[in-house]
């Protein structure tokens, strides 16, 4: 990708303007990181030779239902795989008590959360192209009012002024969204207009196309009004479509680790119970600006804080990275190592891109290969979320670098090779959309937060979400250009069903970033004042679905739009 580097300053709002203390001195990130490293290394040295919480467990490679959340070997989530072309499973939604390590108070807290299957990180679902994914959703959360088990009855409230709807609501109503999958949005498939109320069940039937890209996707609840609360409780899991470049010898030989990054903004209620219950307490004005440090929150990996990743000298591992958090971006860096990126948002790049770090915004996925350095003595390294300066932070504060995991490289040799770009070239799944394919006018999207309205209004193209709004209409078996911008602060754009191909970004100052070759995504950060130029095809599936900001509390407050793909006969 050829690009010019431009820094854009922005401020992120959560409902209303957040005041900034201009006299506040920035923290010394390097000193904080050094101190954190020294504390961890001291613990590891003191624990050497003892049976400790971080000692390697050779009997298990998957998470148990209860896990000590700190200084343990990184565990992959439990796996549910398709058999004979069908993955038939159940996801039960209920409250459970989970143990979370608080990095400020240095203690384990019991946090009551809405979860799938009683797990802080839910099962990984594995399918192949052509498989049928059957998921029975069983909602065992307590009712918050009147219950109707009609999944198509609708729970989206409408009014003359949708900004008055107080959209965050129905926290115990759920459904299932398969983020990134190219599948039908209708009926019992990836239908986010379905509502499964407490004490109700719903059977999803999601047919994976024979030609579906193979890669890293994920699933989560997506009822408008409750999405942020549920995903922030850990209701997001990996969904892997197997095949494709998985068969390349160097990739097939690599040990695979799944990273579900979670950001759980738990708070304590008047009874002393920790949880994610009060929307304003977890997502209200200013909460995230200071909450990360003041509350001791930390981005977790598979429900674990400071997990230990073990590698052998010269070993190659494949890491599937899924940002299943809500608000904080992650810039992932490993001491002394390069990251070899092979896929974005579940779509093969068709090449190896070697980077010093990878950026993950909420909803993003990245597949990377890591080759451990050859060492003559055991080496302890740190997987770091890099520092972010105040002017470029999504939280409107300086974000010090934070350790997310510990990587221990042993002297045992396992020299492995990385694949080449030539080997990967055949696995780029989509053809570039040519200008000759484009029909009609460009689809324009602009995100905005109207801070002058009361209450603050979160909008797409000047309108907060309402089922009364006419949907954006697209024609089946056509393609069009998209122009996506943000009028106020930064927003990750996500659209269901069909991925999009990014060609260029026009920066607020008029300079341009050219993507050569173009890159396919289903989620992409739109910075304030920028215009992202993308193209998309609408193949295979008609029906209604949504586009929205993937800062999910923004989506819950109205930053979402209904889209309808129709056949020619309906135009």
- pLDDT by residue (tens digit) across 105-129? 888 999 999 999 999 999 999 999 9
Tokens of 304: 């674990």
CA distance 567 to 544: 12
Is 396:16 a contact under the CB 8 Å cutoff? no
Q: Which residue has tokens 């029975």?
A: 136
Q: How far lies 319's CA from each of 228, 358, 378, 556, in Å?
A: 26, 12, 21, 31
Residue 132 CA from chain centroid, whole number: 24
CA distance 447 to 453: 15
293 three-state secondary structure: helix
Bridge partners, residue 316, by sequence:
371
Domain boundaries in the chain?
29-413, 435-570
Q: How many helices (H) and strands (E) does the chain have?
A: 7, 33
CA distance 241 to 217: 8
Q: How far lies 127's CA from each of 65, 101, 181, 238, 430, in Å?
A: 23, 33, 12, 11, 20
Question: What is the predicted pLDDT for the residue at 127?
Answer: 99
Pairing mode, if any, of strands 201-207 and 236-241? Answer: unpaired
Sequence-distant (6+) residues with CB within 8 A of 435 are none
Is 518:464 a contact under the CB 8 Å cutoff? no
CA distance 425 to 405: 32
Is 9:392 a contact under the CB 8 Å cutoff? yes
Question: Nearest CA to 196 among 228, 157, 219, 222?
Answer: 222
pLDDT lower than 70: segments of the chain: 1-27, 48-68, 154-167, 289-293, 389-396, 570-571
Show the beta-strand stretches assigned E in 39-170. 79-81, 86-102, 107-116, 124-127, 132-139
Q: How many CA atoms lie within 13 A of 310 on its CB side?
A: 15
Fold: same for 29-413 and 435-570: yes
Q: Which residue has tokens 């309205």?
A: 453
- Burial class of 435 by CB neighbour count within 10 A (0 to 12, 13 to 18, 19+): exposed
Question: What is the predicted pLDDT for the residue at 61?
Answer: 40
Q: Which CATH class is domain 29-413?
A: mainly beta
Question: What is the predicted pLDDT for the residue at 41?
Answer: 87
Question: What is the predicted pLDDT for the residue at 59?
Answer: 38
Question: Nearest CA to 177 among 540, 523, 567, 524?
Answer: 523
Question: What is the predicted pLDDT for the residue at 165?
Answer: 52
Pairing mode, if any, of strands 560-566 and 472-475? Answer: parallel
CA distance 132 to 114: 27
Q: Can you give the pTM of this predicted structure?
A: 0.91
Question: What is the predicted pLDDT for the residue at 22?
Answer: 37
Question: What is the predicted pLDDT for the residue at 458?
Answer: 94
Question: What is the predicted pLDDT for the residue at 145?
Answer: 82
> Topology of domain 435-570, per CATH?
Immunoglobulin-like (2.60.40)
Residue 263 CA from chain centroid, whole number: 10
Question: What is the predicted pLDDT for the residue at 437?
Answer: 97
* Three state DSSP letters for 227-290: HHHHHCCCCEEEEEECCHHHHCHHHHCCEEEEEEEECCCCEECCCCCEECCCHHHHHCCCHHHH
């Amino acid at each position: 990708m050829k690009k010019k580097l431009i820094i854009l300053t922005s401020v992120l709002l959560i409902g209303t303007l957040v005041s900034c203390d201009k006299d506040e001195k920035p923290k010394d990130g390097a000193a904080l990181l050094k101190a954190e490293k020294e504390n961890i290394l001291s613990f590891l040295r003191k624990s050497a030779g003892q049976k400790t919480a971080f000692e390697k467990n050779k009997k298990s490679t998957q998470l148990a239902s209860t896990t000590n959340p700190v200084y343990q070997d990184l565990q992959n989530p439990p796996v549910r795989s398709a058999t004979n072309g069908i993955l038939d499973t159940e996801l039960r939604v209920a409250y459970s008590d989970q143990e979370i390590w608080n990095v400020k108070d240095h203690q384990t807290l019991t946090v009551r959360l809405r979860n799938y299957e009683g797990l802080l990180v839910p099962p990984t679902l594995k399918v192949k192209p052509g498989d049928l994914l059957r998921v029975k959703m069983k909602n065992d959360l307590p009712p918050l009012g009147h219950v109707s088990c009609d999944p198509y009855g609708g729970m989206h409230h409408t009014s003359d002024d949708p900004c008055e709807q107080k959209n965050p609501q129905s926290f115990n109503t759920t459904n299932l969204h398969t983020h990134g999958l190219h599948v039908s949005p209708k009926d019992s498939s990836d239908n986010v207009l379905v509502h499964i109320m407490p004490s109700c069940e719903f059977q999803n039937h999601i047919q994976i196309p024979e030609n579906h890209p193979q890669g890293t996707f994920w699933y989560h609840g997506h009822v408008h009004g409750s999405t942020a609360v549920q995903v922030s409780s850990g209701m997001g899991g990996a969904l892997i479509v197997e095949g494709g470049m998985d068969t390349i010898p160097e990739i097939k030989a690599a040990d695979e680790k799944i990273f579900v990054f979670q950001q759980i903004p738990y708070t304590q209620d008047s009874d002393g119970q920790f949880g994610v219950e009060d929307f304003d307490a977890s997502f209200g004005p200013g909460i995230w600006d200071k909450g990360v440090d003041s509350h001791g929150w930390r981005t977790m990996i598979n429900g674990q804080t400071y997990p230990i990743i073990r590698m052998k000298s010269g070993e190659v591992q494949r890491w599937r990275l899924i940002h299943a958090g809500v608000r904080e971006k992650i810039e992932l860096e490993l001491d002394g190592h390069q990251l070899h990126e092979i896929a974005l948002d579940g779509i093969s790049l068709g090449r190896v891109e070697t980077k010093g770090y990878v950026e993950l915004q909420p909803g993003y996925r990245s597949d990377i290969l890591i080759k451990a350095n050859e060492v003559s003595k055991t080496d302890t390294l740190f997987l770091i979320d890099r520092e972010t300066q105040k002017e470029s932070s999504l939280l409107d504060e300086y974000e010090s670098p934070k350790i997310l995991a510990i990587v221990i490289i042993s002297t045992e040799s396992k020299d492995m090779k990385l694949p080449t770009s030539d080997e990967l070239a055949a696995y780029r799944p989509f053809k570039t959309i040519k200008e000759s394919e484009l029909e009609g006018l460009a689809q324009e999207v602009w995100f905005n937060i109207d801070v002058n309205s009361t209450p603050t209004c979160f909008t797409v193209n000047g309108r907060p979400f309402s089922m009364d709004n006419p949907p954006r209409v697209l024609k089946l078996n056509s393609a069009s250009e998209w122009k996506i911008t943000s009028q106020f602060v930064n927003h990750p754009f996500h659209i269901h069903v069909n991925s999009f191909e990014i060609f260029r970004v026009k920066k607020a100052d008029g300079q341009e970033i050219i993507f050569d070759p173009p890159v396919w995504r289903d989620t992409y950060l739109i910075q304030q004042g920028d215009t992202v130029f993308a193209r998309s095809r609408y193949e295979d599936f008609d029906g209604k679905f949504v586009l929205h900001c993937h800062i999910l509390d923004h989506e819950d407050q109205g930053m979402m739009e209904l889209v309808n793909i129709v056949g020619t006969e309906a135009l």
